[in-house]
Structure 1
Amino acid sequence: MTAQPAAQPRTRPVAERQARPPRFAFSWSRVLLAVLCGLVLLFLIAPVVIVIPMSFSAAKYLSFPPPGFSLQWYENFFNRSDWTSAMIQSIRVAFTVMILATVLGIMASLALVRGNFPGKDLINAVIVSPLIVPTIIVAIAIYGIYARLHLVQTFFGLVLAHTVLALPYVIVNVTATLRGFDIRLEQAAQNLGANPLQTFRYVTLPLIAPGIFAGAVFAFIASFDELIVALFIAGAQGRTLPMRMFEGLRLEIDPTIASVSSMLITFSVLVLLSAELVRRRGRTEA
């Protein structure tokens, strides 16, 4: 009777063992990083959490927590002409800037992405520089030029200055969309007889529409919320809503400031959510 060989232990193939996801290794560095990220997010969100309840305060001054709740400060905002006129002025300026920056941004993006000319990188850096250069420096430079051209305290001057600040947002968004664009679709349309204008209108424009919409939204918000350049350029007659809020913080500290801030926060969140939904829808259709 012969002896049977000992049973060999069953081992999993090497590929199967390597395919297993690694187990989560506890690390104090990861815990510390998560805590720090949470504290930073809390620091950023805390003003929003505080200012919204303060806008419904029944007190005659800014206090947290509010002693009671009331809509009197929202009513005060809409009943005072200095607040409503500043809001209308901001909307006028921001809407004009949005249209102007969007049109110029589309043309500039097409030139920077499709064009091949000397100095393209330098021109791109100059156009996008307002995102990097401190706003106070831009405001001083614009004021120095406007003082010679007599554009200070004019609606056109404020729109032109805000367009310079808003244009990089449009260029960044439209350029990103154009770089991910399949140029063979344009070539196919031209092979079927479409001229360049028809190709842009029926092929290019619908496909880059999400980037255009996102850039236009950011341009509107950049102009609507801008304060420093407006302080140098607008003057008392063209006072915008951020300027009126700045004056309110200096001269009269009441919960009307909190109500305006709450409305601006809500408006900005809704607009950004709309832009994100349009961007995702465009990515899905693409």
Structure 2
Amino acid sequence: MLLTYARLGSWRWVLLGLTLLVTLYLLLPIVFIVALSFGSSQWMIFPPPGWTLRWYEALAEDPRWLETALTSLEVGVLVAALSVALGLAAAFALVRGRFRGRQVLRLVFLTPMVLPVVIFAVAVYGFYLRLGLNGTLLGFVLAHTVLAFPFAVLTISNALAQFDPSIEDAAILCGASPLAAKWRVTLPNIRLGLISAAIFSFLISWDEVVVAIFMGSPTLQTLPVHIWGMLRQDLSPAVAAASSILVGITLVLMLVAALLTRKSKA
């Protein structure tokens, strides 16, 4: 028995070491990009010959970078709001509903998660050509909402499933209308799930590039598309600086979402 525990302990350290190696392998490209964004050379050279902040200053002074960043921010906020609103309604239907075909409807809602993004992008591009939505803010928001919607549904459904509906029933028995009970009792209790859903939806739009390439126009582009276009033209460290900002914001929001999810389960 002691020998078995000793073997398990040794394997545990081996698995821990492999996990650390895989983590370092995944994080090293990000570390390189961040280091290149502070390089003093006009080209992305590693290791950098010197260190400077001028590439971040160049981003702040270039109106094109600012314009695409604001576009990504605007699209992301609108997608987050729309995804949470639709996801909340869908979550109530899936968690509280007792109709036939509920599980089939759940699978339909989650389809964008398993559908290849390229296929979705081509389909949306062809559909939007007929509607004249290519290169429009509305087109971006609707397309990204389809991609973000499943994540909002999952997050809000999990939060709603953990909430005791008898508390809402008690509010109704005390005189509140069903709508008022949901607004004043249910929603405040699942607010962490709503915030997490908004963060995940925002990140889906913020980092998305494939659909945005098909949707973009010379006058309307998101930040990831502009980064992709700049990489095709040159290898300026300004691209590394923009990528570092993009990754940094993503990591911070993911950390916040993870903390909120953990707190909601506590």
The TM-score range, normalised by the shorter chain, is over 0.9
Matched residue type, 2:218: A
Q: Is 1:159 matched with 2:159?
A: no
CA offsets, 1:179-220, max 9 Å, x none?
Answer: 111111111111111111111111100111111110100100
CA offsets, 1:138-171, max 9 Å, x none?
Answer: 1111112112222112111111000000111110
Q: Paired residue for 2:26, among 29, 44, 59?
A: 44
TM-score, with normalisation over the residues of structure 2? 0.93
Q: Paired residue for 2:91, among 99, 104, 109?
A: 109
**Contact map agreement 2:159 2:264 (CA 8 A) in 1:** no
CA 1:29/1:279 → structure 2, altered by over 3 Å: closer, same or farther? closer
Q: Paired residue for 1:276, among 247, 253, 258?
A: 258
**Contact map agreement 2:200 2:257 (CA 8 A) in 1:** no
- Give the corresponding residue for 1:190: 172
Q: Paired residue for 1:208, among 179, 190, 193?
A: 190
Structure 1 stretches of at least 4 aligned residues deviating more than 4 Å after TM superposition: 26-32
Matched residue type, 2:36: M
SS of 1:253's equivalent in the other structure is coil
Matches within 5 A, 1:203-242: 203-242=185-224
**Structure 2 residues without counterparts, runs of 5 or longer:** none
Matched residue type, 1:130: P
Q: Is 1:131 matched with 2:113?
A: yes
**Contact map agreement 1:207 1:282 (CA 8 A) in 2:** no
Q: Paired residue for 2:78, among 88, 93, 96?
A: 96
How many pairs align?
Answer: 265
Cα shift at 1:26 = 5.2
CA offsets, 1:73-106, max 9 Å, x none?
Answer: 0011111111111111111111111111111110
Matched residue type, 1:140: V
Matched residue type, 1:150: G
Matched residue type, 2:103: D
Q: Give the greater-gyration-radius structure (CA).
A: 1
Matched residue type, 2:257: A
Q: Paired residue for 1:144, among 106, 122, 126?
A: 126
CA separation in 1, counterparts of 2:252 and 2:242? 16
- Give the corresponding residue for 1:69: 51
Quote the sequence identity (%).
37
**Contact map agreement 1:57 1:255 (CA 8 A) in 2:** yes
SS of 1:125's equivalent in the other structure is helix
CA separation in 1, counterparts of 2:94 and 2:8? 48
- Give the corresponding residue for 2:68: 86
Matched residue type, 1:60: Q
- Give the corresponding residue for 1:9: none
> Alpha carbon RMSD of aligned pairs, Å?
1.9
- Give the corresponding residue for 2:157: 175
CA separation in 1, counterparts of 2:114 and 2:132? 27
SS of 1:128's equivalent in the other structure is helix
